[in-house]
Structure 1
Amino acid sequence: MPSEPTWPTGPAEASAPVESSESTESAGPTEAAGPVARPEPSASLPAAPFEASAINEPAPAQSATAPMGAVEATAAPTAEGGTAQTAAPTTSTMPTTPTASPPPVGEADQGPGPSHHGSDPVSWQEGVPATPQTEPVPGAARPRPTGPEPGPLAEDRTPARTGLRGAVNRVGLRLRPSRSELEERRDIAAVSAHWSGSRTVAVVNGKGGSMKTPTAVLLSAVFARHGGTGVVAFDNNPARGTLGWRTEPGPHERTVADLLASSDRLLSPEAGPVEISAFTHHQDDGFDVLRSHPETLAEDRPTTAEAFTRAHEVLSWYYRLVIIDSGNDEGSPAWRAMIARADAIVVPTITRPEHAESARLLLTELSRCDAHGADLASRALVVVSQSSAAEPRPDELVSRFRQVARDAVAIPYDPMMAGRPLHLGSLAPATRRAWLHATARLATDLH
Structure 2
Amino acid sequence: MTSGEDLMSTGEQVTESGPLADPVTVATTTIDLVVDPTPAPTHITTTDSPTASDDRPEATPAAADDRPGPRGQAADPFSLTEEELDGDRTFAFDGDAWVDEPTPVPATGWRRRVWAVTGGRINPGPTPEEQRLRERMEAIRRPFGGARTLAVVSTKGGVGKTTTTLNLGHTLASIRGDRVVALDANPDAGSLGHRVRREHGATSVDLLAEADHIFGYGDVRHFTSQAESLLEVVASDDDPLSARRMGRPEYERLLNVLRVHYNLVLADCGTGILDAATRGVVQRSDQLVVVTGPSVDSARAVSYLLAWLREHGQAELVERAVVVVNGVRQDGSPVDIDSLVDHFAAQVRAVRTVPWDEELANGAVVELDWLAPATRQAYVQLAAVVVDGLGDELAGEGGTGR
Note the aligned Cα RMSD (angstroms).
Answer: 2.7
Post-superposition CA distance 1:261-304 (Å, at most 9, x none): 100001xxxx232111111111122111000012326x834322
Of 297, 311, 319, which aligns to 1:378? 319
The answer to whether the 8 A contact 2:198-2:225 is kept is yes
How do 1:77-92 residues align onto structure 2 when only pairs under 5 Å count? none
Match of 2:111 among 144, 149, 165: 165
Structure 1 residues 294 and 387 mapped into 2: Cα distance closer, same or farther (>3 Å)? farther
Q: CA deviation at 1:390?
A: 7.2
Which of the numbers 173, 179, 186 marks the counterpart of 2:128? 179
- SS of 1:330's equivalent in the other structure is coil
Report if aligned partners of 1:344, 1:380 keep a CA contact under 8 Å in 2: yes
Count the aligned residue pairs: 300
CA distance in 2, matches of 1:296, 1:391: 39
Alignment of 1:37-436 (within 5 A): 110=83, 158-170=104-116, 171=118, 172=120, 173-250=122-199, 252-266=200-214, 271-296=215-240, 300-370=243-313, 373-386=314-327, 391-392=333-334, 394-419=337-362, 420-436=364-380
Structure 1: how far apart are the matches of 2:180 and 2:133? 22
Q: TM-score, normalised by structure 1?
A: 0.62
Identity %: 32
Alpha-carbon distance change, 433 to 263 in structure 1, aligned in 2, over 3 angstroms: same
Query: How big is each residue's C-alpha offset from its partner over 1:39-91, in whole Å with a ceiling of 9 and x where there is no partner?
Result: xxxxxxxxxxxxxxxxxxxxxxxxxxxxxxxxxxxxxxxxxxxxxxxxxxxxx
Task: Confirm or deny: 8 A CA contact 2:183 2:235 kept in the other structure.
Answer: yes
Counterpart contact for 2:292–2:299, Cα < 8 Å: yes
- Unaligned 5+ segments in structure 2 are 1-59, 68-76, 87-100, 392-402
CA contact (8 A) 2:153 2:268 kept: yes
* 1:19-30 alignment runs, 5 A limit: none
State the one-letter code of the partner of 1:182: Q
**Distance (whole Å) between structure 1 residues aligned to residue 177 and residue 136 of structure 2:** 15
Letter in 2 for 1:428: A
User: Shift in Å at residue 427 of structure 1?
Assistant: 0.6
Residue 236 of structure 1 contacts residue 292 of structure 1 at CA under 8 Å; is this kept in 2? yes
1:176 positional shift = 2.9
Task: Report the CA distance between 1:164 and its aligned residue.
Answer: 2.8
Contact 1:200–1:343 at 8 Å: present in 2 too?
yes
- Structure of greater relative contact order (alpha carbons < 8 Å, 6+ residues apart): 1
TM-score relative to the length of structure 2: 0.69
Contact in 1 for aligned 2:170/2:230 (Cα 8 Å): yes
Query: What residue ranges of structure 1 are gaps of 5+ in the alignment?
Result: 1-95, 114-154
Question: What is the distance in 1 between the residues matched to 2:327 and 2:171?
Answer: 19
Q: Does the Cα contact within 8 Å between 1:348 and 1:382 map onto a contact in 2?
A: yes
**C-alpha deviation, 1:207, in angstroms:** 1.0
Larger gyration radius, structure 1 or structure 2 = 2
Alpha-carbon spacing, 1:259–1:165, altered in 2? closer, same or farther (3 Å): same
